[in-house]
Amino acid sequence: MEKDVEIGIFGGTGIYDSGLLENTQEIDIDTPYGKPSDTITVGTFKGRKIAFLPRHGKKHTIPPHRINFRANIWAFKELGVTRIIAPSAVGSLKEELEPGHFVLPSQFLDFTKSRDGSFSEDGRVIHISVADPFCPELHSSITKVTDNQNIKIHKDCTYVCIEGPRFSTKAESKFYRTTGADIIGMTLVPECQLAREAQICYASISTVTDYDVWAEKPVTAKDVLETLSKNVEGTKKILTELIEKIPKTRSCSCAKALEEAEF
Ligand code: ADE
C-alpha cells in the first residue's frame, strides 16, 4: 500500500477525474467501514503525490446521504494523505453570492440526520474541537491562488449542510436564511469533521450553482449541473496552482487535533 501520498482531492458533482495527474494508478482499498466511493486514483502532479476520489463515485451513483464518508477519509489516511481539498456544489442563501461564484466556507451548521460522523466508538471516546473546522494554512494557500488568478472568492462563509438528497422546502430555506448562513449543500458534514478526527487538514472550495428555493425560481438538479459544467475548468485551474502552493510541511494545528480530545 502506498503511504507517501500528500494531498487528497474529493471530486464533487461534475468533477469525476482530476485531469491533472500523471503516472496514475487505480487503488482499490478496503477499510474497517467498508469500501470508499470508488477506486482511488493516485498519481503525481508537479512533483507532489496526489490521491483523487469523486465522493459520489466515478459515475455519480452515490447520493449524498449514502456516501461512506468514514471509508473515504480512512482510505485517504491509509495512503498517507495529510491535506484534503474538497470541491463541492452549493446553493446560495444570499443575493450577492451569485451562481458561478466561488465560496470558502469557514463555519458550518449541521442539519444532517442519519450519517456516521465519527471514528469514536464504544471503548474510544473522542471529542475533537470544530470551533474552527477548516485548516487555516490551506485557506491561506487557496486565497493566494484566487488572488493571483484574479478570481473572486467569498471568504468567511457559513455552510448549512442538509441531509438531502431532496432540496429544501421554501420554509426551510427561509429559515436557513434567518440564521445568517451563506450557502447550502449536502456533503460538507461529516466529511470535514472526520478529516479533523483523522488529523488531516481540510478545506472546501464551494461553487455556487443556484439560489436554492427562497428566490423566485426553485433549484433543480439540471440547473446545478449546467452551472457546474461551466465552472469545472475554473475549479481545475485553482487546483493546478494550489497544489504547488500548499506548503510541504504543516505549520497549522490540524495534526494535533486528538491531543486533549480523548478521555
Ligand atoms: N447543492 C447545490 N445546490 C444545492 C441546494 N440548493 N441545496 C442543497 N444542496 C445543493
Query: Please, what are the domains in the chain?
Result: 7-256 (3.40.50.1580)
Nearest CA to ligand 1 atom 1: 90
In this predicted structure, the answer to whether residue 16 has a pLDDT above a threshold of 80 is no
For residue 157, what are the CA distances in angstroms to 15, 68, 106, 129, 238?
22, 26, 5, 19, 19
In this predicted structure, the answer to whether residue 37 has a pLDDT above a threshold of 80 is yes
Q: What is the pLDDT of residue 1?
A: 67
The arithmetic mean of pLDDT across residues 239-249, rounded, is 94
In this predicted structure, the answer to whether residue 14 has a pLDDT above a threshold of 80 is no
Instruction: State the average pLDDT for the chain.
Output: 94
For the stretch 202-242, pLDDT in tens is 999 999 999 999 988 888 999 888 888 888 888 989 999 99
Residues in the chain: 263
In this predicted structure, the answer to whether residue 53 has a pLDDT above a threshold of 70 is yes
DSSP alpha helix (H) spans, the chain = 69-79, 136-148, 170-178, 188-197, 221-245
Active site residues: 210, 212
Query: If 0-12 CB within 10 Å is exposed, 13-18 middle and 19+ buried, where does residue 25 land?
Result: exposed
Q: What is the pLDDT of residue 217?
A: 84
More confident of the two residues 30 and 21: 30
Task: Give dist(CA 41, CA 53) in Å, integer.
Answer: 7
pLDDT band at 41 (very low <50, low <70, confident <90, very high): very high
Task: Give dist(CA 143, CA 138) in Å, integer.
Answer: 9
pLDDT band at 144 (very low <50, low <70, confident <90, very high): very high
Nearest CA to ligand 1 atom 3: 91
Half-sphere exposure of 152 (CA within 13 A, CB side): 8
Q: Are 98 and 152 in contact (CB under 8 A)?
A: no
**Which amino acid, one-letter code, is at 89?**
A
What atom in ligand 1 is closest to the CA of residue 219?
Answer: 6
In this predicted structure, the answer to whether residue 182 has a pLDDT above a threshold of 80 is yes
Q: What is the pLDDT of residue 232?
A: 85
The arithmetic mean of pLDDT across residues 93-114, rounded, is 97
Binding site for phosphate: residue ranges? Answer: 13, 55-56, 88-89, 187
Q: What is the pLDDT of residue 56?
A: 95
Selection from 4, 9, 3, 21 nearest residue 203 by Cα: 9
Q: Are 14 and 223 in contact (CB under 8 A)?
A: no
Q: How far is the CA of 116 from the centre of ligand 1 (A)?
A: 21
**Cell 461529516 -> residue:** 190
